[in-house]
Chains A and B, each alone.
Chain A
């Protein structure tokens, strides 16, 4: 193996460095993880025995291996730093990880296909450069089960081998909606599992679970797994492989309950996670519940299961608003406030001591918009920063909100063909595990999903604006309202259209009049009107919200349509008319148009009577909403 700068070797449970890897990495890039009872210096905890002991007398060896492998990977993921967020390039955010792990079923794990499937799933999910595995035989027997940390979650023999649906449960809004939908649409018990990585997450999961048990007594079977680092501080907080651990645990649970299906609940927009910025690639792209991740994991789990295993994703075609609305549909909105979506709960919130959410991370922004779109904002959590009512506390907050809205806005004006073209690359990943005869239908469904998402964001913004903004109060600076500001938005779009029209006329008029001279201003007006009529459809498509009008007669202000955003007027500068005369005319005309509307004055000056274009235009353009376009 060649030496590289980004490779790390992770030795698990006192495995020695394989001979072929000796001296390939420096000592500081060798990480030792110890979980097994009886080995010295344990630095991670994976309580498989607590998790498994009540389920079946003996969890299959391969499944125990799977959970341990996923736990070692998760621990390494947390310990090995990717990089800083202010690097020039993010090359080292993608790591090369080599794991040396003792396993019980060595024959299985040593198969090339098995380790390749595992590596492919982890590489795509994590964005890391590569994963390699060296397995060796685990020696010694597993200790007898002893400690139980959830004695009230014992599985009865009658429960095992039933067709109870099994689901992952994180304590977040989407998984809550998913579990509620299972409880509401079935009459059976529902089996859920969580990964307990820290006390704060555990508290949330317990709280939500307790609330569900009260509402659905005797229906919930809960098997959480505790897995975290011990006496080691986590250096890396991206945790992209956490979902692999989570799914491995869910798989083990499904297997114990005789199921070949595991349910995961996350809205489609978050799962697919179309990139909002170019730098969000590889190690910086989050793909935990991406359809391709699930397809790759299914291959891994089917191998371990020795028969097909399915990860169901019922919410893949739902927006977050639609997922949240499920709780309204089943009359359970009161559960919302107990869930946590925020990824920055480790911060000390300064604004509100009762806050459970920061309010500005990407997850909080998504949640806030969904709550307003679903008209459930009164049930929402308390945010330290409320984007609906407060100024952005930091630049990152503005970035998250602006990119979120910009992204949604893109889909509002995208036709199906454009969607397919512009997102060809991510669509190729999303549809990789869709049967070829269903690809077209799937792409159509995804297009519809993004259209509905776009409309939901617009609805949410209007609701925020209706509730919290007023024309009688000064605009809240450095806020979502300033960034969106409808009137500025409209005017700027009108200005942009004016530029496009000016550009078109600048090219077309000299060509059309190359061998002729218009006798009168009316002839010029007729030509311009014809050109605008020719291109009107295209302008309306590109600027759907801008209403423009070509005025051949200077309108009387009182009769002017108040909702016209752009007025276009032409002037013909001939021998009888001096530049100062045109200046006076324009000045007078400006007074007659509505102040808020944008004006484009097209001046045809074939005899070059205006000597200094810049000077001529400057005074008007700087003080008024107008563009002067001089054509020769």
Chain B
């Protein structure tokens, strides 16, 4: 009981090259960007199809439901109509559980579905950290639990929370590959920890570049939200379109010499 099985990356050249680069990482040789680039290239096809995965779409739908509900007169009733039941002063733990249940009800236990719901829960955690009242949100109480989500329920807030979500999603997806061989590749415990911290930093910068610096994705997100989510709840094709667009832009920024057309 509790036994772990170590996974490995495939023995093909394109994956062995990544493992070789992992062994070269150190503080003096920060090759995180190159490793992230090559890993993303190796799974580019999968990333392009990600917006067809029911689990990925379910997680993003949940987020949209939460934001939309926060603007309603009766948020709980709105959520209930859309298959989400939360108590009157739900805690973050309850919210996390609800995200997973929503996902499980709409798709099988797949890898992408799990990564997507984990990424959404990370996003919930990150977003509410910005809120002064996070500690009271931990275990529920008198605080209005929808307050943090109202902040995200406009074009600007939606753009930012989407950025965080897709950055988390991509981070977990890349670690899904890289962490298998990381501990056997680095020279020290410190390098192992440092690599993950630098990878997270790199992805955060890439996502900011995608959503803020270039402005294109930010405007797209804001425009999409205003058009699709403010007046009516977006349908599955709309959500698929946005998720596909966001992942493609992030992928293109990670693999910087791919075509980067909108």
Interface residues of A (CB under 8 A from B): 85-91, 94, 96, 123, 127-130, 170, 238, 243, 266, 270-271, 273, 276-282, 284, 286, 288-289, 343, 361-363, 366, 395-396, 398-400, 402-403, 405-406, 409, 417, 420-422, 424-425, 427-429, 431-432, 436, 439-440, 443, 482-485, 488-489, 492-493, 495-496, 499
9 shortest A-B CB distances, which residue pairs?
A270-B2, A428-B96, A402-B183, A395-B184, A278-B175, A362-B4, A277-B179, A399-B183, A86-B8
Q: Which stretch in B76-84, B190-198, B247-255 binds the other chain?
A: B190-198
Q: Find residues 143-190 in chain B having any chain A CB closer than 8 Å to their own CB.
A: 172, 175-177, 179-184, 186-190
Q: Pick the contact of A403: B134, B135, B183, B188 (CB < 8 A).
A: B183
Contact partners of B175 in chain A: CB under 8 A: 277-278
| Contact between chains at A427 and B190 (CB < 8 Å) | no
A430 to B, closest residue via Cβ: B93
Interface residues of B (CB under 8 A from A): 1-11, 27, 42-43, 46, 91-94, 96-97, 100, 108-111, 114-115, 117-118, 121-122, 124-126, 129, 134-135, 138-140, 172, 175-177, 179-184, 186-194
Contact partners of B11 in chain A: CB under 8 A: 86
| Contact between chains at A286 and B10 (CB < 8 Å) | no
| Contact between chains at A362 and B2 (CB < 8 Å) | yes
Q: Pick the contact of B27: A85, A363, A396, A495 (CB < 8 A).
A: A495
Q: Pick the contact of B111: A270, A281, A420 (CB < 8 A).
A: A281
Bound-complex Cα distance A256 to B187 (A): 56
Contact partners of B43 in chain A: CB under 8 A: 88
Q: A123-B109, A440-B139 are in contact. Are A485 and B4 (CB under 8 A)?
A: no
24 intermolecular pairs with C-beta atoms under 8 Å apart: A89-B46, A130-B108, A243-B1, A278-B179, A280-B4, A281-B111, A281-B115, A363-B3, A396-B6, A398-B183, A399-B184, A402-B183, A406-B183, A422-B125, A424-B122, A425-B96, A425-B117, A428-B121, A439-B139, A483-B187, A483-B189, A484-B189, A488-B190, A492-B27
Bound-complex Cα distance A409 to B192 (A): 12
| Contact between chains at A90 and B188 (CB < 8 Å) | no
Shortest CB-to-CB span from A174 to chain B, Å, is 8
| Contact between chains at A485 and B188 (CB < 8 Å) | yes
Bound-complex Cα distance A170 to B233 (A): 54
| Contact between chains at B176 and A279 (CB < 8 Å) | yes
| Contact between chains at B4 and A427 (CB < 8 Å) | no
Q: A277-B179, A406-B193, A428-B97 are in contact. Are A363 and B2 (CB under 8 A)?
A: yes
| Contact between chains at B188 and A483 (CB < 8 Å) | yes
Contact partners of A88 in chain B: CB under 8 A: 9-10, 42-43, 177
Bound-complex Cα distance A130 to B107 (A): 11
Bound-complex Cα distance A363 to B5 (A): 11
| Contact between chains at B190 and A489 (CB < 8 Å) | yes
Give the one of A130, A286, A425 with max B CB within 10 A: A425
Contact partners of B192 in chain A: CB under 8 A: 402, 406
| Contact between chains at A279 and B180 (CB < 8 Å) | yes
Bound-complex Cα distance A266 to B3 (A): 13
Q: A128-B109, A424-B92, A485-B188 are in contact. Are A286 and B2 (CB under 8 A)?
A: yes
Contact partners of A91 in chain B: CB under 8 A: 110-111
Shortest CB-to-CB span from B106 to chain A, Å, is 13
Contact partners of A483 in chain B: CB under 8 A: 187-189
User: 15 extra interchain contacts, Cβ-Cβ under 8 A, other than A278-B172, A492-B27?
Assistant: A86-B11, A87-B10, A96-B108, A277-B179, A279-B177, A279-B179, A286-B1, A286-B3, A402-B183, A428-B93, A483-B187, A484-B188, A485-B188, A492-B191, A496-B27
Q: Pick the contact of A402: B97, B109, B177, B189 (CB < 8 A).
A: B189
Q: Pick the contact of B100: A279, A282, A428 (CB < 8 A).
A: A428
| Contact between chains at B4 and A420 (CB < 8 Å) | no
Contact partners of A489 in chain B: CB under 8 A: 188-190
Q: Pick the contact of B7: A85, A123, A398, A422 (CB < 8 A).
A: A85
| Contact between chains at B10 and A277 (CB < 8 Å) | no
Contact partners of A271 in chain B: CB under 8 A: 1-2
Q: A278-B175, A409-B193, A489-B188 are in contact. Are A400 and B6 (CB under 8 A)?
A: yes
